[in-house]
Structure 1
Amino acid sequence: MNPLPLQRLHGRPEFKPRGSALARGLLALFGWRVLFEGFPTRQGVVLVYPHTSNWDFVIGVLVKWAIGVPVRYWGKDSLFKIPVIGAWARWIGGIPVDRKNPKGLVGATVAQVKAAKQAEEFFWLAAAPEGTRSYVPGWRGGAYHVAVQAQVPVGLAYFDFPSKTFGIVDFVQPSGELERDFATFRAVLGDKKGCKPELASPIQLKSS
């Protein structure tokens, strides 16, 4: 049995605040639409798939501004080392990740999420589990394990370039059982096509 979608909450500003009309206008100008009805809880993890192009970041930032939610995100640490751009990346919620030495990242993030839960503060983390725009044989497990260990829901977000749609409409409570959870992830995300579909990874954890 797959995890059931969590009940979505509506009409509460802390879950779906008013976003930027300019960002929504720019997305519309380029033909993109956003499917988002709000978050079910104050804390959680968003897994964004597929990640195959630099355009994903551009569209993702516009979506973040369009929906007006202060989502944090994991980003490649080299981006944050670039003058001005690095400061801007942090300003929009970026958390630098050293992919060559990620030790301690999951534990530190779990602690942040738990602290936010205790304080009843908003903390949603977005991550592209493929970890790269290039083809890889599976997902990195860090963000998934954050959700499992912190006992928070996962939002399954997607880029679908053929329909020019960015969606965050499915939320599940991960069980920690890999086959069960990833079967659900595949059911929701498996038919989504990135800018370069041939670079999308299979929806499974990459062997360490």
Structure 2
Amino acid sequence: MKTLMRALLKLFGWKQVGELPDFKKCVIIFAPHTSNWDFVFMLMVRFCFKMDVAFLGKHTLFKPPLGWFFKWLGGIPVERSSKNNVVKQVVAEIQSRDRVQLALAPEGTRSKKPYWKSGFYHIAVQAQVPIVLSFLDSKTKTIGIGDFIHPTGDIKQDMDKIRDFYKDKLGIKPEFASDIQIEESPKS
């Protein structure tokens, strides 16, 4: 599958860069998320790097006829409007596994928003796992794995590092890129 995905990327004029760090558990963020095509590119990153990822998806994705496919890809259905604490549920899921690479799009949507959702950060802090920075850059037609951080719990300091990494990455539809900052409301 890795060879096929790299061939497809090359066919479309894209390239893959970087190396996946060897962490047993981590949160992988994929940004910028501005188009429906991002999911396809995320899958290409997954196969190019031989990742065994889990991802959170809107619960409606997991209904027939394609629900089985998204579960097979590693999907975990999430009811985003639920009163259940999604962060705690995901942290428990990470802690229950020997190995897990949880991939998330921190924007939470393809629409322009004034901030990223903070769940990825709180999940990583509470599960005590690193955050791997994965990206798509339409300007250079590159997808890949960049740096990683071990979150300190100082969200402002850590977001400065994350913002610095993503500042020059353009999504497929740059006009829909969300600002790289976190909503100020605390999550637990």
Matched, 1:27 2:9: yes
Distance of 1:84 and 1:36 partners within structure 2: 35
Report if the CA contact (8 A) 2:53-2:74 is conserved: yes
| Aligned twin of 2:183 | 206
Question: % of aligned pairs identical?
Answer: 44
* SS at structure 1 position matched to 2:47: helix
Report if the CA contact (8 A) 2:130-2:151 is conserved: yes
So what's the TM-score if we normalise by structure 2? 0.92
Letter in 2 for 1:54: N
Distance of 1:35 and 1:162 partners within structure 2: 14
Distance of 1:167 and 1:25 partners within structure 2: 15
Report if the CA contact (8 A) 2:135-2:146 is conserved: no
| Aligned twin of 2:73 | 92
Matched, 1:144 2:121: yes
* SS at structure 2 position matched to 1:156: strand
- Stretches of structure 1 that go unaligned for 5 or more consecutive residues are 1-18
Distance of 1:205 and 1:180 partners within structure 2: 12
- Stretches of structure 2 that go unaligned for 5 or more consecutive residues are none
So what's the TM-score if we normalise by structure 1? 0.84
| Aligned twin of 1:55 | 37
Distance 1:67 1:101, change over 3 A: same
Distance of 2:56 and 2:21 partners within structure 1: 19
Instruction: Give the C-alpha shift of residue 207 in structure 1.
Output: 4.2
Letter in 1 for 2:103: A
Residue among 55, 67, 85 paired with 1:73 = 55
The 5 A counterparts of 1:160-199 are 160-199=137-176
Instruction: Give the C-alpha shift of residue 84 in structure 1.
Output: 2.9
How many residue pairs match? The answer is 185
Instruction: Give the C-alpha shift of residue 202 in structure 1.
Output: 0.9
Letter in 1 for 2:53: V
Distance 1:43 1:102, change over 3 A: farther
Distance of 2:130 and 2:83 partners within structure 1: 23
- 4+ residue segments displaced more than 6 Å: none
| Aligned twin of 2:101 | 124
| Aligned twin of 2:18 | 36
Instruction: Give the C-alpha shift of residue 194 in structure 1.
Output: 0.2
Report if the CA contact (8 A) 1:52-1:133 is conserved: yes
